[in-house]
Amino acid sequence: MAGGRIRARLKRSSLYTFGCIRPPRESIDEPHQFQGPGFSRHVCCNQPGFHRKKPLKYCTNYISTTKYNVITFLPKALFEQFRRVANLYFLLAAALSLTPVSPFSPYSMIAPLIFVVGLSMAKEAVENWHRFMQDMKVNMRKVLVHSGDGVFVRKPWMKLEVGDVVKVEKDEFFPADLLFLSSSYEDGICYVETMNLDGETNLKVKRSLEVTLPLDDDASFKDFKATIKCEDPNPNLYTFVGNFEYDRQTYPLDPSQILLRDSKLRNTGHVYGVVIFSGHDSKVMQNATKPPSKRSTIEKQMDKIIYVLFTLLVLISLISSIGFAVKTKYQMPNWWYIPPDDQGLYDPNKPSLSGFSHLITALILYGYLIPISLYVSIELVKVLQALFINQDIHMYDEETCTPAQARTSNLNEELGMVDTILSDKTGTLTCNQMDFLKCSIAGIPYGTRSSEVELAAASQMAMDLDESSRIGARSGPEIELEVVPKGVSCQNRIKGFSFEDNRLMNGNWVQEPNKDVILLFFRILALCHTAIPELNEETGMYNYEAESPDEGAFLVAAREFGFEYCKRTQSSIFVRERHIPSQEPIEREFKLLNILDFTSKRKRMSVIVQDETGQILLLCKGADSIIFDRLSKNGRLYEEATKKHLNEYAEAGLRTLAFAYRKLDISEYSSWNGEFLKAKTSIGGERDTMLEHLSDIMEKDLILVGATAVEDKLQQGVPQCIDKLAQAGLKLWVLTGDKMETAINIGFACSLLRQGMKQIRITTNVDHTSNMVIKENILMQITNASRMINLEKDPHAAFALIIDGKALTYALEDDLKRQFLDLAIECASVICCRVSPKQKALVTRLVKEGTGKTTLAIGDGANDVGMIQEADIGVGISGVEGMQAVMASDFAIAQFRFLERLLVVHGHWCYKRIAQMICYFFYKNIAFGLTLFYFEAFTGFSGQSVYDDWYMLLFNVVLTSLPVISLGVFEQDVSSEICLQFPALYQQGPRNLFFDWYRIFGWMGNGLYCSLIVFFLNIIIFYDQAFRSNGQTADMAVVGTVMFTCVIYSVNCQIALTMSHFTWIQHFLIGSSIITWYIFLILYGMLSPSLSGNVYQIFLEALSPAPIYWLSTLLVTVACNLPYLAHISFQRSFNPMDHHVIQEIKYYKKDVEDRHMWRREKSKARQDTKIGFSARVDAKIRHHLKFKLQKKSSPRAVSEPTPG
């Protein structure tokens, strides 16, 4: 509590030079003058009921990301169902079944349609309900709201209204867009984390109006009344224009007073604010788009197949109707036993009318070519696949107890067809935790612990050296010694501090030769910041509330080195120094004279302090390029060594800063400080320019001290995941709101960038000029980069494209975006920095539409929602930050590393399962449906079905449904372990090897062949052949039942040949499908003749005693499946696919007996890639081999002349 009181008494605004100065009251800018539309918002503070009435009637704070609501569910869900071509056809067929021309009873057409559509709608309803429950988790969050008389009560977010005064406490999210009134700091400062909005980890400083500072406790709002007039709701996160009318005065508002929904309050006890924009009017929700209706590539292609089959259906129906009309006109007059009917369906005098009515009959009769149960079977299979994804223990995060979640099952197979991944950075790739890992002081490197990138690369290199036959036994250990890092200890880990080096720890630094420089380095760590210390009473140690994670890591490191920052006043910083562990710490006071705070433009921060001896020092930390340019001639002693270490740290994926200092004379400082204070308190447009100029004057002639290397902790397994995805042939783009330097550091950490990779940076480097000039400059940069790539002759050369948000604005315009995309596609990795949420969505759309390939977007924050919804597949990270990304996503995972398994395993399986399932479905329906056409032609185009109505009703629903569902749910060409060991197998999906037209028409041809064999072989066998013992031939019921039996056997044997993975479930379902047919035949035959008709006792009395029935079933089944068996045997023997080779290796256990062959096949199963730590290792091995070859050749060249 004491720490909190001290903190509250601090006037935080005095810590900032550039961002947070409040001008004198008499010099406040004039109120904004609104002109034109777009500025009609009128908010009456502390009067929420006022906004419920017209003409205002602003929306509530309730948000919804669901696809349907109670009112729209029925019409929208029906539209979704009948957007499918097959369902539309069956709706027409069901309507026609009510007419006399139908060959079937109406219930046999209507009942399956209702069942299929109803089941699909029920699935949609369940998934929509889950989205609704996610929304309600957010809507039911609680916040303190003023209820009157100065009393604040907790209310759900959804109950907030425009005009409400709310009190948000530390580490809480803002429930709506608020006008900041006051905070726990007496000068109205608060810190806001916008990581959920723009991906930036640095805290933003917000300031309230001076006039609202007295509103600093609950009671002060009892009689508070004010009016806000401002801009209308819009998606721009970084602008705001409005006026605040209070106490008969009007004050201008700007973005520094606005607290946006889904950003978080940090380092501040509490703030008061008034709701300006609520619910879907808030800026973050304005950036969101309506949940799109996504369909997978396979489903879209399936519609095209339905069109093909429908064309075939119309064609054979026309043939049938023409044949029927010809028969009716020329032959029916001779058929005395068939008189014309009253309805004119077959009238020799009206053959055209008879042919037309028969066309409708044929369209319904041959409808089995288009499988109505296909969609419901796919829906069921996808739900079960989603269940397996949800239950996968390997994608369960134990730390947060969060499983993977398939929020929609419509896109399961799309997971196996992804070409490009577009990823957020903060919270997705990184966990926003910085660890102090290494440092360079006085040109000497310290820190023996390795970064995650180094460990991953070393592990991969060790494997490559062990497995690769390219490198000899002698060269292996030599290279291995150079790359495998030193031992890593995991004992006594301290958050923010992963440094290990006994030369600096425990006071040992006093034994180092440059101890004075080291002392100065530690003091820069402890003094150059704006953080506030808070004593943790449980541990007795200080915690630090810093603006950025880097700053916090530096202070923890200083504490561990023996320089503990313990107290801050308005004018001093206190540090407890313990040079030797046995000594008592000495508390030293450093007078804080000035802070030149960090900005993205300056890329540095400085403090001016006076130590206890009276010496004035400027301590500076910043980007190495900035610091090196400001060094004095005698301050460059350690420059070369430090640059070398900085390059090594960057290669290891670490974030680096350089440290420098300068001693100041009192007279020099006094003169400068007078000018500085004058500029600091000035008003006008020149203020920032003056401050920047004076800062530049002071921050020069520096002396280099050293550099730090901080690890921006990647989420667990991120480098390995990216490497595996790269080996699977996937491209990765990073879209982040962070500044370019941070994004580049993470690029190195993730191995998207590496030393030797040529970076193409596209920026708006032309200031203060027209948009046309900037656009032409960007076009020139893109053109030059494309030309450079085309002229590159080195096959191993890799390019990385890095572009900032301003340049991206122009690159995404219609006349530039094609050139930009072509350049990006040529690059190994693409990093877009400083991008807005809308730009993320636009880039995603460009990649999706420009390449025509499947895109996947993954993110964790509200700023990623547009990108997630725009991509073909959206994946949300269900981390500690808000749930906006998850609520908008199609799949949710807890960690980025689970994306590897989601795509490489489940995506690969789901794609092949669905593709094979659909192809098989069309095969069996063609095989079955065309026999109806052959029989009708055989019987004079009479419209007569050879099969009983119940046979046809049960064919798709019962007798062949379960095996095909088992194919879609349980089929595995290879196990999950093999999928991960052989990532190149994933490319079967993006290349669409199992659902291209060649394979589709192949299966259709197989169905055509099967139908011909089933019909004509049975007709040949039974046409003139005695069937019963007394010499009778088979009637239509017998022939139809035999043909149906042959179809059941053939299609079930076919699916057994198709499957690669058998469990007892598949054996049971295939066997039970055949047995079920016989059980049905027996039970149906036992019914009275009035119900069973011509099949009364047909199996027991007619079929089972006849050997010809069993022989014909066996013969036809073998004949139907023999060509497919020959095809797969030939393919496996002479043109095997990748998974065929792996299956045979596993079957013959060669992976155990011949490890060399197994390793060779594994190395071949990696797509050639230029990103990931495998690419980094390959580059390093090539470098070593090249160096060794040069080393071997050079002595020979020197020694040859010597004999002469």
Positions marked catalytic: 424
SS3 of 1191, please?
A: helix
CB 128 within 8 A of CB 30: no
Q: Tell me the C-alpha distance between 1171 and 719, whole Å.
A: 10
Q: Tell me the C-alpha distance between 1170 and 829, whole Å.
A: 8
Q: Tell me the C-alpha distance between 332 and 328, whole Å.
A: 5
Residue 1031 backbone zone (phi > 0: left; psi -120 to 50: alpha; other: beta): left
Pairing of strands 270-277, 165-169: antiparallel
Residues whose CB falls within 8 Å of the CB of residue 396, separated by 6 or more in sequence, listed in order? 402, 403, 404, 894
**DSSP 8-state symbol, 654:** -
Distance of CA 288 to the CA centre of its chain: 16
Residues whose CB falls within 8 Å of the CB of residue 697, separated by 6 or more in sequence, listed in order? 672
Write the DSSP assignment of 900-947 as a string of letters.
Answer: HHIIIIIIHHHHHHHHHHHHHHHHHHHHHHHHHHHHHHHTTS----SS
Torsional sign, CA 1040, 1046, 1048, 1054: negative
Q: Tell me the C-alpha distance between 709 and 656, whole Å.
A: 5
Write the DSSP assignment of 472-524 as a string of letters.
Answer: -TTHHHHHHHHHSPPP---TT-BTTB----TTTGGGGGGGSTTHHHHHHHHHH
Phi, psi for residue 176 in degrees, rounded to 5: -155, 180
Measured CA to CA in angstroms, residue 366 lies from 291, 402, 864, 923, 952 at distances of: 38, 49, 49, 15, 11
CB 117 within 8 A of CB 110: no
Other CB atoms within a 10 A radius of the CB of residue 805 amount to 20
Q: Tell me the C-alpha distance between 833 and 477, whole Å.
A: 40
Q: Tell me the C-alpha distance between 306 and 921, whole Å.
A: 12
Beta strands in 198-356, from DSSP E residues, in sequence order: 204-207, 226-230, 242-246, 249-253, 258-259, 264-266, 270-277
User: For the stretch 581-607, what's the b/e string if a residue is b when 16 or more beta carbons lie within 10 angstroms of its beta carbon?
Assistant: eeeeeeeebbebbbbbbbeeebbbbbb
| 706 membership: H or E segment, kind and range | strand 703-714
Phi, psi for residue 282 in degrees, rounded to 5: -65, 155
- How far the first Cα of the chain sits from its last, in Å, is 89
Q: Tell me the C-alpha distance between 332 and 350, whole Å.
A: 12
CB 922 within 8 A of CB 930: no
| 798: its two tokens | 């890799």
Measured CA to CA in angstroms, residue 768 lies from 433, 773, 1065, 1106 at distances of: 38, 10, 71, 96
Phi, psi for residue 116 in degrees, rounded to 5: -65, -50
On the question of a cis peptide bond just before residue 445, with omega within 30 degrees of 0, the verdict is no
| 1197: its two tokens | 């060249």
CB 805 within 8 A of CB 206: no
CB 970 within 8 A of CB 1061: yes
Q: Tell me the C-alpha distance between 645 and 1010, whole Å.
A: 71
CB 317 within 8 A of CB 366: yes
